[in-house]
Structure 1
Amino acid sequence: MTSAPDTVDPTPPAREAEARERARLAGSFAEYATTVLRDRLIVLDLQPGTPLNDEALGRELGIGRTPVREALKRLEGEHLVTVYPRRGTFASAVDLSDLAYITEIRERLEPLAAERAARSASPEARRGMRELADALERLQPGAAGAAEALRYDLDVHRSIYAANGNPHLEEDLRKYDNLATRIWCFVADRLPDVSGNVAEHIALLRDIAEGRAAEAAEHAREHVSGFERLVRSVI
């Protein structure tokens, strides 16, 4: 990236105020930038290979270059960003051959998180999972499009990770789920009806909510394996 002063052009007051409030709630401008850019990279709003200029992104987010550079460094560690010496920083490519490696890890860690959540989730977390399962049951067969299915999938997995009680396991699983989600988005236009994939979450959520640890672990394992089969059916 080209060198420039660590400042940004003035932004409209309302936009700047909104950006700063979000940053305050998130704890820091770097955390805010990381959250926003991570989500854009996961759902491919920032397409693979897109150049990521810290100054331009800072102007867009209403913050300085320094927190954006810190965010990009964090996202490089999550394999969402790739830095090429003397060329710059880019949104990482989606490598479909990574699916097997990601699945191998998730097939071991997702059941562990589900089992731990079933044993240690708080009453509030269990209530949230019941409510999410109820919402999924209200969906009509075939009604969930790819975007809605993706939203529910992220909600389910992130709620389980947060409830498992091990912050290191949560961090690792979020990283691998993000990479799996990028693959999903990359092939989304080729996928058949994904309602079945969404419906698989219902039993998993209810097992965790009711403390059925062994059943939750098995449902989590089946869901990860089913995801790989679904993606492989179109690649």
Structure 2
Amino acid sequence: MTLQRVDGPAGTLAEQAYANLLDRLVLLEIAPGDVIKEQALAVELGCGRTPLREALKILERDQLIVTYPRRGTFAAPLTLTDLSVISDMRAVLDPLATRRGAELHGGEQREALQRLRDQLLELRAADHDKLTPRELIHLDLHTHRVLYAATGEALLEQTLLRLLHLVTRMWCAVLDRVPDVEQHVQEHLDLLDAVLSGDADRAAELSAEHVRHFEDVLRANL
């Protein structure tokens, strides 16, 4: 079962539970080390224990939760030592994904990419009513998810989503120390233009730069 696609209408109860818990874990609303209480979550999410456990199995595979025999299930600890290997993988796969997306001019995600571009332009022009850092992270997360979906290749999309969710947890951990989150998010604007215009080389180049900049900012604030 594929439960990685979280944007748009949810399907089964397991998918709904997964989508709900995914963002809460990624954005540290469920903090690293917090106990995952199945009974309470089943009531809160309005689903049975079986679909909840199905969702938890996928989250454990994604390294977002961990289960210890006779102790229970917990939100996974932050493992910053994984940053280098994750960044190395993203340095190869993110440019590949944006190249594929550009070759398709955004494919089935073209309208969603255009809406994101318009939102970033509006954000850049705004003198007030700026987004909070937390809202900016939501926007960053959504932008990457749509860019990955634009590849039209499920395996590549799912692999990149798993990496994205792990590094976003690290990003959220240092969010209060990052001086300009909006600048990081605005880097997507040129990237979206390249994908929508079909400039595959430019899209791949900008994507590689974005991944490098992300790691530099993250390491500077750890």
Normalising by structure 1, we get a TM-score of: 0.85
Which of 160, 171, 180 pairs up with 1:173? 160
2:198 — aligned with what?
211
Alignment deviations for residues 126-177 of structure 1 (CA, whole Å, 9 cap, x no partner): 3332331222122248944311221221121111111101110011111110
- 1:99-110 matches, within 5 Å, as 99-110=83-94
CA contact (8 A) 1:145 1:194 kept: no
CA contact (8 A) 2:106 2:196 kept: no
CA contact (8 A) 2:87 2:215 kept: yes
1:154 — aligned with what?
141
1:194 — aligned with what?
181
In 2 relative to 1, CA 127–92 (structure 1 residues): closer, same or farther, beyond 3 Å? same
CA contact (8 A) 1:109 1:173 kept: yes
Number of aligned residue pairs: give it: 211
Which of 132, 137, 140 pairs up with 1:145? 132
2:3 — aligned with what?
none
| CA-CA distance at 1:124 after TM superposition | 5.4
**Radius of gyration: which is bigger?**
1
In 2 relative to 1, CA 78–38 (structure 1 residues): closer, same or farther, beyond 3 Å? same
Alpha-carbon distance between aligned partners in 1 of 2:18 and 2:164, rounded to the nearest angstrom: 16
| CA-CA distance at 1:193 after TM superposition | 1.3
1:30 corresponds to 2:14: yes
- Give the unaligned 5+ runs of structure 1: 1-24
1:127 corresponds to 2:128: no
1:136 corresponds to 2:123: no
| CA-CA distance at 1:95 after TM superposition | 1.4
Which of 212, 215, 219 pairs up with 1:228? 215
- Give the unaligned 5+ runs of structure 2: 1-8
1:88 — aligned with what?
72
Sequence identity (%): 44
User: 4+ runs of 1 displaced by more than 4 Å?
Assistant: 121-124
| CA-CA distance at 1:72 after TM superposition | 0.8
SS at the partner of 1:139? helix
In 2 relative to 1, CA 124–73 (structure 1 residues): closer, same or farther, beyond 3 Å? closer
Please provide the CA RMSD for this pair: 1.6
